[in-house]
Each structure stands twice: as C-alpha cells, then as structure tokens.
Amino acid sequence: MTTRNHCLALDAQDPLAPLRNQFALPDGVIYLDGNSLGARPVAALQRAQQVIAEEWGNGLIRSWNTAGWRDLSQRLGDRLARLIGADANEVVITDTTSINLFKVLSAALRVQALKAPQRRVIVSESSNFPTDLYIAEGLTEMLQQGYSLRLVDSPEELPRAIGEDTAVVMLTHVNYKTGYMHDMQAVTALTHECGALSLWDLAHSAGAVPVDLKQAGADYAIGCTYKYLNGGPGSQAFAWVSPALCDLVKQPLSGWFGHARQFDMEAQYRPSSGIARYLCGTQPITSLAMVECGLEIFEQTDMASLRRKSLALTDLFIELVEQRCAAHGLKLVTPREHDKRGSHVSFEHPEGYAVIQALIARGVIGDYREPRIMRFGFTPLYTRFSEVWDAVQTLGEILDEKTWAQPQFQIRHSVT
Amino acid sequence: MTTRNHCLALDAQDPLAPLRNQFALPDGVIYLDGNSLGARPVAALQRAQQVIAEEWGNGLIRSWNTAGWRDLSQRLGDRLARLIGADANEVVITDTTSINLFKVLSAALRVQALKAPQRRVIVSESSNFPTDLYIAEGLTEMLQQGYSLRLVDSPEELPRAIGEDTAVVMLTHVNYKTGYMHDMQAVTALTHECGALSLWDLAHSAGAVPVDLKQAGADYAIGCTYKYLNGGPGSQAFAWVSPALCDLVKQPLSGWFGHARQFDMEAQYRPSSGIARYLCGTQPITSLAMVECGLEIFEQTDMASLRRKSLALTDLFIELVEQRCAAHGLKLVTPREHDKRGSHVSFEHPEGYAVIQALIARGVIGDYREPRIMRFGFTPLYTRFSEVWDAVQTLGEILDEKTWAQPQFQIRHSVT
C-alpha cells in the first residue's frame, strides 16, 4: 500500500519539483485540470503589465516595431518548435485551434487536389474533439464536390477506413476524453502507405508528451497553448506544416499578415513563403505575449524528464484510485499501457458530474466530460506526488460518504 | 489666423475634455494615430491584472463560469451594439477582422445561393483595405464555380458596377487611406435596389463616426476594436448580422463556441440561433477582457458629441496645415465635405514617409500609407485642439527645415 509518506519522499527526490515555484497556484487547491487550462506562470503578470503599461501605453503604435509585436507569432513559434519535433521557422502561434485546423485541412485537400484529385475523404474518429469534427464538417460542406468526412469509432478501425479515396487522416494525438495516445509514427506511416496526408491535433500533446513530428514524417499539425503549455486563458493556438508541403498551396484564410509584403498594401494577395503564409489577421498581443512565459519554463527542462514524471504521476493515480476507491465501481477508461497514455487519466462513474462538483468544492479541481467521465490532468511542471495522494483520499471520502448526492452538486453547469 | 490661444480656449470649453483623464498617454507625445492603435484606457491595466492574477491564477478553470469568460464575446458585443446602430444580442466580439469577414462574406454568398444563385460577384473598391480584398480573393478561389471579385477605382463607379450578377457589395465605410466616408444609407439602398446584399467594414467607423446599421438597412458588418474603440493591441474584432438573415445559413468556420449546445460534445455541428453562430474557437481572454475598458468610456458620452468634436478637430487641422505649410505643396486627399469625411485626415507629400518619421522623432505620432500619404487620426475622446495646433507647427518646421532629408528618416520600416 503506497503511503502519503512515500509520496512525500517522491516529491523530495523529484528533480522537477523546483519548477513549481515558477507557477502561481492558489492555496488550498489541488489542480488536476492543467489539461484544460494550464496554471499561471508567475512571470505572466509582469509580462502583461509590461505589454500594457509600457508597450501599448507609452510605445503606442511604435511598439509594432520597437517591441517586436510584428513577428511575435513567429518568434514564439520558434521557441515552441522543439517541443513538437519541428525546427525554427516552421511554427506560428496565432488564431485559435479551430481556425488553424481550417487552414491546414484546407491546404491538405488542395495538395491532394493537385496530386490525387480523386482523394476527397477526410478520415477521423467519432471521439475526436468536437470542434475538430465541426470544422471538417464546415469545410466539406463549403467545398461540396464530393468532399466528405468518414468517422471511425475506434483506432483499430483506422486501417480499414483509410483507402484510395482518402485525402487526409485527421487525428488528435491524445484523446481529450480517454487519454488514449496514438502511435504517431505508425499511424503516419500507414497514412502515407495509403497515399493520404497526416494531420495531427496536438492539443493534449504539446508540453504533455514527447512529440517528434519530423521523425514521424507528419504533414500538418495544430495545437493549443492554453493547456499544458500554460499560455493563459484562450491563448493563441499553433500551426505547423511540413516544409516539403508548405509552399505548394495557399491556405484560404489569406489575411494581410500572411502576405509576402504586408505593408506594400497591394490589392492582390501574394503568400509569404514558409509558415508565415498561415498567419491571417492582427493578433491580440497581450494574450499572445504571455505565451512566452510558459515556454520559458519548458526551456529549463526537457520532454523526456517531463514524460518520466508524468507517467509516474498517472501510474500513481491509477494505483491509488483502484486501491482507495475499489468499492465504488469506477471504471478506468485511460489505457494502462504507457505507450498509449497521454498525461491525463479518466474514470467513468454514473454520477461523474456530481462527484467532480463535490471534488471542486473540496479544492480538488478535475473536470467532467460527457458521458460520465471524470478527467484528471497531471502536469509534471507543477503537480506533486503528495497532491495525487491527497486528491485520491478526497475522492474516496466523497464516494464513501456519497457527498455527490447533495443537491448543489447535481445542478449542471459546464466547464470548458 | 487661428492662434494657439484660440485652441487653448477651445480646449477649455470642450465638454469632452475630462474624458482624456481616463487614458494613459505618455508625456511629450501628441498622438494622432488612434485610427491605427487606440490609446490605453487607464482602467485596462487593472482589468488585465484582475484577469491574470485573480481569474486565471486563482480561479483557474472555474473562471469560465465564475468570471463570465464563457459569454464574454456576447456581453461585450451587447455593449458595443449601440455605437453602430445595432441591438443587444446582435453583435459578437471575437477573432480578427479578416476572419470575421470570411465568415460574413461566406454567409452572404450562401444566402444569395438560396435566393438568387446566378449572383456570384462581390463588388468592392480597389482602394479597400488590402486584407479585405485578400479575404474575398481567398474565398472566391476556394468556392470556384464562377465566384469572383469586381473592383471599382472610385465610389462614383459603384452604380455601374452593381448589377444582376452581384451577390454582395463589400465596402469599408471610411477609407483607411483617404478618410473618405461612404453614405451608408444611400449605398445600401442602391445595393438593395440591385438585389445585392450590403456588407460594411466599420474598422475606421466604430467609435469614430455615427453609424446606424439598422436604419441604413445594412445586412452584414464587421469591424475593429483596437482603433477608435481603444481595446488594446490587436484586440478582437466584431461581427454583426441583420437578424432577418442571421439564421438563414451557417457560416463555414463552424467551431465549438458557435454550437447550439457546446458542452454536449456532439459529433455533429448544430449552429446556435442568432449571432452566437458567428463564434468559432476559444478566445484569448486577457486581450478580450480589456475591450470592456474602452467601451466603458464611450458609455459616458454619445456619438453625436464625439462627431461634433471630431469634425472640429479635422477642420482645424486642415485649416492650420493649409495656412502654416502652404509653401510645401501638401495635397489634401481627405474630403472637405463633412458628410464625406471620417475622423482622420490625409495629406500627400512626395517625401511623406520621411516627413512622418521626422514627426515621430519630434513626438508627433501620425502614420504613413503607401503611396506618399501622411495620415493623422483625431480621436475626440483624448485629442486636444491645442495638440492639433502644436502638431501643425512641428510639421511646418520639419517642412521648412527639410528635416525629413536627414538619412535616419529615409530608412524604411513599416508601421501597422
């Protein structure tokens, strides 16, 4: 039986433990929802104050040049690149995940229209994050001409679903609900064998698990900076395109920041070469600037160390829940195999929603996803082993005492 | 001859003068570029600190509900609505102007596809803001099937250009370069007589001139919050759709925030009714929240008072430049007629770029637009009459002394 003292000993030995000091976490809270909104880097407040008071307030319009706002999307992309196995000059941080998906998915279909115009099917999973499916649906409806979306219900169905008609295989690397992680290299290889292009959503991967897009041979990727990368609420998303494909086609959201010579103010669009053609409009700068503070913390460690701790945390959580809460029929939906697991763990419970509400009321913040899924994120930059122990004790007490049955925990309001 | 003392007297009588105290403007600067990036409301810093330290740092994921992040785009849209002659529940503040244009222009073409499918031409002006033209170009290229963009070189050509093939007339109400303002009511009426839909870009209108979209009978509008509305660098843009058209069609950037039941996490997209269907992905919250600080200042006055002062400021600037700088061949490109003028004034000069650089070096911040155009924005919330006088004196000295010929002012770097 793992004891709290054992968990404290793990914290004492944890080489990543000092990084927690770079986050401002509230007292009395065990935060297991960094997979939804990452915690605040201490430095983010000061960075925002500098942008607002100094760069906006005093620099005013001059700051587009003097404070480097102009190429901020690219400079931050350069710093993020190594976390996903990309090179500098291949990533931009801009717009939202949904918008970036529209751009790269459109581009992938255009590349296929040049090379293999009969390929008009986008293959994805019915359990993919909904906005990804909505964007693909919106795009195929817009294009008409036989473009369509084909959804599989489990990863095992992918080989049969990818065929001669397939243009793109669009998958989220780590499933938002179950925490299942695809084998990026194997699925990309399968995709390419079938003549399709591979598009990865890294929303639950970037900063959470090691990703090597170039080694995997991926074609397109998008992802989120407000989860494991701790960029701030709703902070801008990223886009990466394989250099081999980037300049082959334009993407349709052709705004002025993607123009080869933005300030010539030409009436006709000429795309930049490289990933800059995936920029579109003027970005909310204060939010964008804070993304840097999250990235700076990652530069003090490496993804192998983070992965080691992440797996230790999720292993510990699974073990403790299965011991402490054994009587309550929780069902693990996250894979036990390390190579199929991201950095969050989900359990099913018929009263999952109310249990999560009761946990939050006790200061243990996880979240709920339909149907019945209680989701707990483990962020090795700031989650402690002893917090995992404490969280499970609280969960056990809530289940033992049926605290979740109290009326206030049954009232539905949703969390993002 | 208008004297500085006369200008000081105008400032003393100005009923809007106290509002300047709500802006943090740097010493030693005369800011005539609020048409490009509005000045910082004093309150914006504290608002951002609250979002970052309290809502993000302490509230964490809970703030989506407890701090009202969830419907922030709509709540701010409600507050902006009266500045553009719209009603509450008709405006969202989200994404960028370019992205919002893609949404509403797509929707307008879809409405026509239902009603008058032979109408496939978008009419606009070659002098429209480039990103608007780029977005329209990107959209027509994507749709193919005979969709195209027709550009006129002057407003007088519009009546001949709008015909039986015209789906949408897409215009920027106040031209970014010349300051020319269309008669929204007359052009919209002409557009409708011809069977087309009217789409207005209000980037240089919202908060700058009175706008009454509903009285004008407009169909779609988009605009910017980082210029006259003082929302902060790159702050989110807005979109408005006539309620009569809003629910007729989906827009193609169908992200999860536009879903009728976002957190049911359905695999299929069902659009919200009303303007919420124009939402797409998760917004950068810190930047979005600061938009409220600019709107709060507008709620202390009204557009009629602002327009009165705006015209007085631009009249004064034109008069003083033509007196003080008469020897230097400046050419006014902004209309003298009040009903054709926005809130900025542009003069052409062969060395316009270098003159603006020399002005900025002397603390008078205007900006430059290709070709040869020196642009000066007048924002009645904070611009003083005596600043107009001082700015013109500085301009006169720079022209008299040919300061602009100094090498450092000839080096090109562009401003947004």
Tell me which amino acid residue A143 is: L
Q: Which two tokens stand for residue A57?
A: 């307030």
Q: What is the mean pLDDT of each run of 10 residues along chain A (416 residues)?
A: 96 98 98 98 98 98 96 98 98 98 98 98 97 98 96 97 98 98 98 98 98 98 98 98 98 97 90 98 98 98 98 98 96 98 98 97 95 96 98 98 95 64
Q: Which chain A residues are Cβ-neighbours of B65 within 8 angstroms?
A: 413-415
**Assembly ipTM:** 0.97
Query: Would you say the C-alpha torsion B37, B40, B46, B49 has a positive or negative sign?
Result: positive
Tell me which amino acid residue A1 is: M
Report the alpha-carbon distance of residue A241 to residue B268 in Å, rounded: 27
Out of A57, A106, A130, whose CB is closest to B256? A130
**Closest among A247, A229, A246 to A238, alpha carbons compared:** A229
CB distance A256 to B134 below 8 Å: yes
Contacts of B371 (CB under 8 A, 6+ apart): none
Report the alpha-carbon distance of residue B269 to residue B254 in Å, rounded: 7
Contacts of A177 (CB under 8 A, 6+ apart): A127, A333, A346, A369, A373, A375
DSSP code of residue A259: B
Report the alpha-carbon distance of residue A168 to residue A112 in Å, rounded: 8
Report the alpha-carbon distance of residue A322 to residue A159 in Å, rounded: 34
Chosen for mutation from A96, A97, A227, A235 (greatest number of chain B CBs closer than 10 Å) is A96
Helix B4-13 and helix B303-324, axial crossing angle in degrees, nearest 10: 180
Determine the Cα angle at B237 with ends B232 and B238, to 5°: 130
Is A148 strand, coil or helix? strand
Report the alpha-carbon distance of residue B30 to residue B366 in Å, rounded: 9
Establish if B142 touches chain A: CB-CB under 8 angstroms.
yes
Share of chain A above pLDDT 70, in %: 99
Q: What are phi and psi of A257, to 5 degrees?
A: -70, -15
Determine the Cα angle at B95 with ends B91 and B101, to 5°: 70
Q: Which chain A residues are Cβ-neighbours of B258 within 8 angstroms?
A: 134
Contacts of A182 (CB under 8 A, 6+ apart): A155, A171, A173, A174
Establish if B64 touches chain A: CB-CB under 8 angstroms.
yes
Report the alpha-carbon distance of residue A203 to residue A173 in Å, rounded: 8
Contacts of A12 (CB under 8 A, 6+ apart): none
Asked if A98's CB is within 8 angstroms of B131's CB, the reply is no
Asked if A236's CB is within 8 angstroms of B96's CB, the reply is no
CB distance A314 to A378 below 8 Å: yes
Task: Kindly report, residue by residue over A93-118, the tens digit of the pLDDT.
Answer: 999 999 999 999 999 999 999 999 99
The distance from CA A323 to its chain's CA centroid, rounded to whole angstroms, is 30
Cα first-last separation, chain A: 35
Is B122 strand, coil or helix? strand
* DSSP H helix total and E strand total for chain A: 15, 15
Q: Which chain B residues are Cβ-neighbours of A258 within 8 angstroms?
A: 134
Establish if A46 touches chain B: CB-CB under 8 angstroms.
no
What is the pLDDT at residue A416? 44
Number of other CB atoms surrounding residue B42 within 10 Å: 15
DSSP code of residue B335: -
Tell me which amino acid residue B219 is: D
A382 annotated as a binding-site residue: no
Which among B102, B147, B176, B226 is annotated as catalytic? Answer: B226
| Catalytic site includes residue B375 | yes
Token pair 């931050």: residue = A76
Number of other CB atoms surrounding residue A46 within 10 Å: 13
Judged by CB atoms within 8 Å, which residues 90-119 of A form the interface with B? 95-99, 102, 106
CB distance B307 to B210 below 8 Å: yes
| Catalytic site includes residue A201 | yes
Count chain A–chain B contacts defined by CB atoms under 8 A: 296
What is the pLDDT at residue B263? 84
A172 annotated as a binding-site residue: yes
pTM of this prediction exceeds 0.80: yes
Q: How are beta strands A121-125 and A166-172 bridged, if at all?
A: parallel
| Catalytic site includes residue A129 | yes
Chosen for mutation from B29, B114, B131, B413 (greatest number of chain A CBs closer than 10 Å) is B131
Instruction: Per-residue pLDDT tens, chain B, 416 aa: give them.
Output: 899 999 999 999 999 999 999 999 999 999 999 999 999 999 999 999 999 999 999 999 999 999 999 999 999 999 999 999 999 999 999 999 999 999 999 999 999 999 999 999 999 999 999 999 999 999 999 999 999 999 999 999 999 999 999 999 999 999 999 999 999 999 999 999 999 999 999 999 999 999 999 999 999 999 999 999 999 999 999 999 999 999 999 999 999 999 999 888 899 999 999 999 999 999 999 999 999 999 999 999 999 999 999 999 999 999 999 999 999 999 999 999 999 999 999 999 999 999 999 999 999 999 999 899 999 999 999 999 999 999 999 999 999 999 999 999 998 865 44
